[in-house]
Chain A
Amino acid sequence: MNDVTQLLKDLSDGNREALDKLLPLVYQELRRLAHNFLRGERSEHTLQTTALVHEAYLKLIDQRSVNWQNRAQFFALSATAMRRVLLDNARKHVSAKRGKGEKISLEDAAEISVESNENLIALDIALQELEEIDERQSKIIELRYFGGLTIEETAEVLKISPATVKREWVFARAWLYQKMSAECGVRNAE
């Protein structure tokens, strides 16, 4: 049994420390995968968040000793890790742009505009506020927006009904949008 699998087991046995050990591993793997994708090593495939997470999962987990709950936890963790990956990048590029006054591309590949990076940072701050008020709602946003999970998958991970996920999602989205437009002036980067 490999490290990640054992850690996931510990986690489901209630050992919260496992989470701290687990996150860096998942984070690293996701970053490595994202890097490989962006470097064109897998250019025949389109990059897609869930595909990435699935691949990381397959690499990290010893399939034979994982049950469904572990899997759900993994996706939850991946979303958290993905949030960190993207925010780290966003912060790096925002400060680089401010420092050098030029556009920087992520991992030598996809260009990310500073506007969307700034939005991402603003979203992260608003999301932290939301977490204080309603942890589940912030989790839903994290799973769907950063983890790329569908409503159905989110419901599975959180063990609630898809209808609840949808309701909470609509509310949280409005709340975040309102928060960001009031405080930061949201620039919708589509």
Chain B
Amino acid sequence: MNSANWDKLKDSFNQAIDLPTDKRVLFLEKCDEDLRNQLKNLIEAHEQAGEFIAEPAMVEIGLADDADANIGKQIDDYEIIKEIGKGGMGAVYLARHLDESFTQQVAVKLIKRGMDTDSVLKRFVMERQILANLEHPNVARLLDVGTTDDGLPYFVMEYIEGLPVTKFCDAHEFSTDERLKLFRQICAAVQYAHQNLVVHRDIKPSNILVTEDGVPKLLDFGIAKLLNPDWSTDTAEATATLMRLLTPEYASPEQLRGLNITTASDVYSLGVVLYELLSGQRPFKIESDSHEECIQAILTKEPIRPSSVVLSPLSVADKRATSPNTQRTKDKGQRTKSLKGDLDNIILKALRKEPARRYASVQEFSDDIRRHLEGLPVTATADTSFYRFNKFVKRHRIGASVGGLVVLLLLSATAITAWQSVLAKRERDRAEQRFKQVRQLTNSFMFEFHDAIQDLPGSVAARELVAKKALEYLDNLAGEQTDDASLKFELATAYKKVGNIQGRAQTSNLGDTKGALESYRKAAEIFETLHESDLTNPQYRTELAATYTEIAAVNQVIGDDESALENNGRASALLEEQVSADPSDILSKTNLGKCYKVTGDLTAAKGDLTEALRNYRKVLEVSEATLKIYPDDKHAKQMKLTAYDAIGTTLGNPNFTNLGDTAGALDAYRKQLDVSTESLARDKDSFGNQHAQAFTLKVIGEVLTATGDWKTALENYEQSSAIYQKLARADSKDVFTNATLAYLHTNIGEALAETGQTAKALEYHRQAIEQLIKLSDTDKENSFYLTFLARAYQRRAGKSESNRSGDGVLPKGFDER
């Protein structure tokens, strides 16, 4: 068969199998006889093939297990342990990583068959990177998405143990202020996601878990979007699908109508959550539990003021039986009072039917709550009577006309001026809305498009174009003078993002460091003006700090250490302000620690070891402060190890220029050892933990030799050697461990010689030299091996003391690993 015939056969086959039987017959009639016969055979085969090669060979012939039950099943690198929940979309399982050195348990959400799997999959590919990049202490991380071998989509998420936020607050009898503070942390997480162009779309208490330590964690970010069909195409069908998937109680009107979903939809859902948190009720009184009625209410009814629905006291018996409501019921009066006014206005502003009339961002919503907590005036005001009056007229056109007339007459004078201003505002609102839409579209197109193509081979030219177009557009926008803070903020965020694309240090970028610096500078300038306009605004402060951190990192890449120090210093100063204003802001704390470390390294490179040490000690302080709040935070633990290591090295690691404080160095290294011993106790098979442990022991030995305590040094070396040997046995191809081991054997040889065990010493030197020769044979270009080898020969010859200063310096980079 020639290729044209083959292609024709394929085409016709694909067309035919998509047709219903009657149309297929007609289709086949039209084909010539030869083609028709082939098609008939193939279609018959297609229909009979059943399970033919439907499973991979290994599964089919029984070499692989393919039990129907999901428990014990392996999905990607995870093994399912047990079911922890079931929902409309599928089941959620607790799972563990197959590699036992990963101790973290994860939640795997397995999506049921029957959804529109194809389009779900398409969205998966588009979104997985964006979602996986969401890294925030209050966002449960999406670790992976994929499809099982039988084509079912799944998500792997950080496993969170906690209570839904409403239950948590009730269980801990939180006061209104405590609830508000917790809620603001939730807002911060949502805002963070919005900045990364991810809309949650399904915010509800069961998606906001609070851990035992009181840390809120948002689950399922962006997942609703992945799973929902295109709602805009068919409203009736969309609503039906939606009702199956979402809890309509928390969905916004536009969501229920199948209209465009934006960050404003999340503002709405957050409003419902806050309403419930503070009043114990949902915004709409619904008699039955019918979905229809609920949707109807959300679309048409105005929510009742939260202050007027605070749970009325239950009977004494009820009170005892329903402990979760104790707090809400026992101080009903007080609570009603506290909700009246600002809080009513704030919540109702978030719950407005028209997205444009809600808070423009979650940040604004949260800021208003902050202002309320600080006793400052809030921006939310009661919905204007005229606006509501107008709505009333619209809804009850005839019935209202008489009553309306009376009201109008009574209010005539003020009414007319107010009405005019309402009209003017509407005109302005409409223009702003249009502008905002264009802005959002352009923004999201540029960045989502960039992220989507980022990992594709050969996409550099396209990415460069995106960056260039983005800059042109941003420069244009920036040219228009505006007082709109949210526009400015968006502009600066966008500049920063373009900077990242052009040349962010340590990530894949276009290598345009000059352009990156320029874009970052523009971002910093705008953030500066925002920061100056509102000095206590945490967002402006942290974003400005983050921009300076990026600038410093690029400075470092191009070797401009002076500017790096300067910009890094700016970032630290801002973050210090932020951390003292909000001690619970763990992200800023971590970033501050990173800043101190960079400052320390830069000053050490300049030769100012005392100043470097001062900074490293600050790194330690930050990590300890974080661990006090989050004892299991991996980043903070790592930071603590790094801090001790840097302190020890600066004080007295003989392999580096140091301050000569051996006792201090030993103290730091021993504390480092304590931290790594603790980590090792939790996870004894982890390569990283074992390696850290062995490395610290080796360094302690080296410091001890400087004090002349060869005996204790030897003990430390031997402990270190035992661990390295175990690691080397586990993976004989791990050249790094083998090289370190040889290096260590040289040290042991030297220590043995110093303690008078000459014969044993020579044996260690022999082993070390043999191993290093072997290693350098396999990789002749590796200068480490030769340096180590030279050192081994010298030490064997007993030249350790006289040549100390010459050979003690490791090749750059070795100790850093």
A contacts, CB < 8 Å to B:
2, 34, 38, 45-52, 54, 68-69, 82-83, 86, 106, 110-112, 116-117, 120, 123, 133-134, 141, 144-148, 150-152, 162-163, 167-168, 170-171, 173-178, 181, 186, 188-190
Contacts and interface: CB of A to CB of B under 8 A. Distances in A.
Contacts of B57: 49, 82-83, 86, 120, 145-146, 148
A68 B458 CA distance: 12
B42 A133 contact: no
Interface residues of B, number: 45
A144 B151 contact: no
B65 interface: yes
B1 A152 contact: no
Given A51-B98, A150-B147, A38 B14 contact: no
B43 A174 contact: yes
A53 to B, nearest CB: 10
B681 interface: no
Contact of A150 (B14, B59, B149): B149
B72 A46 contact: yes
Nearest to B100: A44
Interface in B214-232: none
Given A47-B63, A47-B64, A170-B17, A133 B1 contact: yes
Of all A-B residue pairs in the complex, the 3 with the closest CB atoms, nearest first, are A178-B45, A148-B56, A174-B46
18 contacts: A2-B733, A45-B79, A45-B98, A46-B79, A48-B58, A48-B59, A49-B59, A51-B74, A112-B62, A116-B60, A145-B53, A146-B56, A148-B57, A162-B122, A174-B45, A178-B42, A186-B52, A190-B51
Contact of B63 (A38, A134, A163, A176): A38
A90 to B, nearest CB: 8
A79 B42 CA distance: 26
Contacts of B77: 51, 54
Interface in B1-58: 1, 6, 10, 13-14, 17, 41-46, 48-53, 56-58
Nearest to B67: A46
Nearest to B98: A45
A150 B59 CA distance: 14
B42 A174 contact: yes
A47 B58 CA distance: 9
Contacts of B49: 173-174, 177
Given A46-B64, A152-B147, A173 B46 contact: yes
Contact of A49 (B48, B51, B64, B147): B64
A133 B50 contact: no
A48 to B, nearest CB: 5
Given A46-B79, A48-B149, 6 more contacts: A34-B63, A49-B58, A68-B455, A110-B62, A148-B59, A163-B118
B376 interface: no
Interface string B433-474: 000000000000000000000010100000000000000000
A150 B399 CA distance: 63
Contact of B41 (A52, A120, A176, A178): A178
B457 A69 contact: yes
Contacts of B48: 177, 181
A188 B60 CA distance: 10
B487 interface: no
Contacts of B455: 68
Contacts of B13: 171, 174
Given A46-B64, A86-B57, A151-B151, A188 B51 contact: yes
Contacts of B121: 151-152, 162
B782 to A, nearest CB: 11
B398 interface: no
Contact of B64 (A48, A112, A116, A150): A48
A50 B56 CA distance: 10
Contacts of A175: 42, 45
B179 interface: no
Contacts of B431: none
A163 B14 CA distance: 12
B98 to A, nearest CB: 6
Residue from B41, B42, B56, B59 having most chain A Cβ neighbours under 10 A:
B56
A46 B43 contact: no
A189 B51 CA distance: 9
A77 B562 CA distance: 50
B411 interface: no
Nearest to A174: B46
Nearest to A161: B122
A152 B64 contact: no
B61 interface: yes
Contacts of A111: 62
B61 A112 contact: yes
A167 B7 CA distance: 12
B73 A189 contact: no
A167 B14 contact: yes
Contacts of A54: 77
A52 B56 CA distance: 13
A141 B53 contact: yes
A189 B457 CA distance: 41
Interface in B88-121: 98, 118, 121
A170 B57 CA distance: 17
